Amino acid sequence: MNRDDTVRLVATLDDGTAIVEHADGRLERRRSESDWARVDALSDEAIEASTRDDPDWADFQEVEWSRAVPLDLPRKKPISIRVDEDVLAFFKAQGAGYQRRMNAVLRTYVTEMRRTGAKGSKQAS
């Protein structure tokens, strides 16, 4: 799959639709295209047999899923911030989603500071 085709699930709504985010940052409301009634009717053996020959499934077989931890990221808080023009231009030049990338850089910094025990790295209350 091409990175441009990748979408990320943002939210599942009560009406059965989902909000997905495209690689370019666009949000879209979608109905599931999956035939869940058909999937529910399949036995575990039938599901295993159908995935055995799927080349995309091979990558997932090597992952130790029992150790996966769901991410519980904090909510975003809108703020006003001043940054150097060249820094902002750099992130914006990479296309849509520049604020998300800036947040990721800041999160990486905070995580590293906490890991090393640097001054001021305690979690705010």
**Sequence-ordered alpha helix ranges (H) in the chain:** 36-41, 44-52, 55-61, 85-93, 98-116
Note the CATH number of domain 3-67. Answer: 2.30.30
Exposure letters 63-87 (e unless 16+ CB within 10 A, then b):
eeeeeeeeeeeeeeeeeeeeeeeee
User: pLDDT at position 26, please?
Assistant: 86
Q: What percent of the chain has pLDDT over 70?
A: 86
pLDDT tens track for 92-114 = 998 888 898 898 889 888 888 98
pLDDT digits (tens, 9 = 90+) for 23-47: 888 888 888 888 888 988 999 888 8
